[in-house]
Amino acid sequence: MSKPNATAVPTASRDIKTIVNATLKRRHAAERRFRWYGLLAISLGLIFVLLMFGNIIGKGYPAFWQSYIQLPIKFDAAILDPEGNRDPHAIENADYAALVRTGLRALFPNVEGRVELRALYALSSSDAPLELRQQVMAHPTLIGTEQEIWLLASATVDTFVKGNIDRQAEEDHRPIKDNQIGWIDQLQATGKLKQRFNTILFTSGDSREPEQAGIRGALMGSFYTLLVTFLLSFPVGVATAVYLEEFAPKNRWTDLIEVNINNLAAVPSIVFGLLGLAVFINFFGLPRSAPLVGGLVLSLMTLPVIIIAGRAALTSVPPSIREAALGMGASKLQMVGHHVLPLAMPGMLTGSIIGMARALGESAPLLMIGMVAFIVDVPKSFLDPSTVLPVQIYLWSDLPERAFVERTSAAIMVLLAFMILMNGLAIILRKRFERRW
């Protein structure tokens, strides 16, 4: 009995071994392939991140520089102050564009003819006279003197100088003409056309002229909107989390609340915009385009995020803390207020900052409540019409000028910088204050 058994086992095992060995190569190849698919999938995602960042930074960084032309400006008293009495009203309404035109003609004295002259005047931005007026209003002593002043060049000049208009293209197919290119070359050769850091981008509101358009209005709008969002959603979110985690009895009502919170977290953002339009604007009659309404809508959106993060932070506080506080004779609210909440606060703040970062990037619901208008003035209160940074990006991305593409990318860079800042802050908070029990 033992003999056939002894021979049978090796043959059978040899059979299995051959079977296994025969397929082993294929199976290992499949294994390697599978592994490569996994790596490929991850690298595809990462490559996309890099591509997008690279693309946007590549497009956007030139926007931080802006072309200026140095013009010899004669602050002619006959134009600025014909009566000679330094009347501020007269000075304010003087013809500053004439000063700019004279300055340009002084640089290129042999330009003649209406068409040529108009092409020459197009080199400087329509902002240049305003800039001159500001300087004269601030320093009336300038009147009668002659100064070399750096003035904003027009967006076309700027785009050309940055190499985004093909010099070789046919004249009719480019926005800048041959004679203008000649003047620009002369200016560059004499050092009278330079790129300077673009402060306008950060100090002025929106404009139809790319070289004068800035994101300050949008930044302030975002600031007011987020302030409202935070002031509303943080206290209410924390209160809800505390109630649900520490006080609520387990019954149908609290179940309903929980289901609601989980569902609200997944409702498309645009639906919140519809809510804002129907309830806040049409029913309560709050003004359209106001940061107050935007903040209200965004706080409803951010609430679930804060509540969920807050509850997680509260559950991570060990029950022994609560028992110790209760054992010392604290009331339930004292226990929460003095012990549990301070311990859970870093986690709650982290969650809220992440929620606020998300609110900062949100634009769809704000389109519904009219924060999408063209607004030049920088908002000064919660009720002024305004727009926010992502919506400004959306608005600019629709405009055809190359200079606006550049500015859109720059605005995206600013937006991403803020988001990185906020998320970084959240990470630091978590790393520094989170306690593991």
Partner 1 sequence: MLSYLLLTLALLSSAAYYLGRNRAFAVANGHIRNLHSLPGFYGSYTALWCGLPALLVLALWVALQPSLITDLVVAGLPPELHDLPADRLNLVVNDIKNLVNGNIVSSAPNPAILEAANHYRNLRVIGNSALWVVIVSLALAGLAYSWNAIAPTLRARNRVEQIVTLFLILSSTLAIFTTVGIVLSVLFESILFFQHVPITEFLFGLQWSPQTALRADQVGSSGAFGAIPLFSGTLLISGIAMLVAVPIGLMSALYLSEYATPRFRAIAKPALEILAGIPTVVYGFFAALTVAPLIRQIGTAMGLQVASESALAAGLVMGVMIIPFVSSLSDDVINAVPQSMRDGSYALGATKSETIKRVLLPAALPGIVGSILLAVSRAIGETMIVVMAAGLSANLTGNPLAAVTTVTVQIVTLLTGDQEFDSPKTLAAFALGLVLFTITLILNIIALRVVRKYREQYE
Q: Whole-number minimum distance, CB 262 to partner 1, in Å?
A: 6
How far, in Å, are 1, 54, 113, 124, 155 from residue 116 at the CA level? 115, 41, 5, 14, 19
Q: How far is the CB of 76 from partner 1 (least distance, A)?
A: 36
Nearer to partner 1, 107 or 391 (CB): 391
Which residue's CB is nearer to partner 1, number 180 or number 387? 387
Give least dist CB 254 to partner 1, A: 8
Contacts 24+ apart (CB under 8 A), 284-288: 287/383, 287/385, 288/369, 288/370, 288/385
Q: Identify which of residues 16 and 106 has a Cβ nearer to partner 1 in the complex.
A: 16
Give the nearer residue to partner 1 in terms of CB position, either 328 or 333. Answer: 333
- Nearest distance from residue 67's CB to partner 1, in Å? 23
Q: Give, in order, the Cα–Cα distances in Å from 127 to each of 97, 111, 116, 262, 421.
A: 9, 23, 21, 51, 33
In DSSP notation, 311-375 reads: HHHHHTS-HHHHHHHHHTT--HHHHIIIIIHHHHHHHHHHHHHHHHHHHHH--HHHHHTTTTS--
Q: Cα separation of 237 and 309, whole Å?
A: 9
Distance CA 338, CA 330 (A): 9
Locus of tokens 């304010």: 92
User: Which CB atom, from 82 or from 235, has the smaller least distance to partner 1?
Assistant: 235
Burial of 114-142, coded b for 16+ CB within 10 Å and e otherwise, reads eeeeebbbbbbbbbbbebbbebbeeeeeb
CB of 400 to partner 1, least distance (A): 11
Total length of the chain: 437
Shortest Å, Cβ 12 to partner 1: 16
Helix (H) or strand (E) holding 213: none
Q: Which two tokens stand for residue 151?
A: 């003035």
Task: Give 111 or 372: the residue with its C-beta nearer to partner 1.
Answer: 372
Token pair listed for 340: 């549990």
| 30/98 with CB nearer partner 1 | 30
Distance in Å, CB of 260 to partner 1, minimum: 4
Give the CA dihedral 196, 198, 203, 205, nearest 10 degrees: 130
User: Please, what is the minimum distance in Å from the beta carbon of residue 247 to partner 1?
Assistant: 6
Identity of the residue, 106 or 278, whose beta carbon is nearer to partner 1 in the bound complex: 278
